[in-house]
Amino acid sequence: MTKEMVAEELRQLADPCATAASVVRKTLSIALNGVPAGGTPPERVIEDAVQGAMTALLLADMSLARGAVLVIEAVHDVASERQIDTMESLRAALRGLADLRRFVTQQRVDEVRHEIETRYMGAGEVFQDYVDADARAEAQSTRTP
């Protein structure tokens, strides 16, 4: 759902990356408001919202590096407002961002990693760990009959 919302707003507004971050902020503010016990864990909600927003930016051929940083900022803001663990929220956002590696060149992954690391010391390395883990898991699943 986030992907479609972002894609629609991208067609109408001048700053697609800021728009993607805004939609993530709105989506998470609503989705994380009073999450019931036993409901979808906040980390999963965050990961899905980030994946949707970044997929929309990818489809619109926008700056993934800039979008990633703005989306992370949005996640951090909402996590702080909702008193959700900001470190776990950041990890969930980075997992969502790592999903990009399936669709882009290594150069674009490196650009995203660099931009994240420039803004959030140590987070670029965590992002790369998730990218590598996803690649290993995918390779393993293709080898298993």
Instruction: State pTM to two decimals.
Output: 0.87
pLDDT in tens, 41-81: 899 999 999 999 999 899 888 899 999 999 999 999 999 99
**CB 63, CB 10: distance < 8 Å:** no
Domain hosting residue 126, numbered range? 2-143
Spatial distance between the Cα atoms of 99 and 95, rounded to a whole number of angstroms: 7
Q: What is the DSSP letter of 10?
A: H
Q: Is the pLDDT of residue 12 over 80?
A: no
Looking at residue 15, what is its pLDDT? 87
Q: What is the DSSP letter of 39?
A: S
Count of structural domains, the chain? 1
Q: How many CB atoms lie within 10 A of CB 110?
A: 15
Looking at residue 102, what is its pLDDT? 92
Spatial distance between the Cα atoms of 18 and 16, rounded to a whole number of angstroms: 6
Spatial distance between the Cα atoms of 136 and 8, rounded to a whole number of angstroms: 34
pLDDT in tens, 79-94: 999 999 999 999 999 9
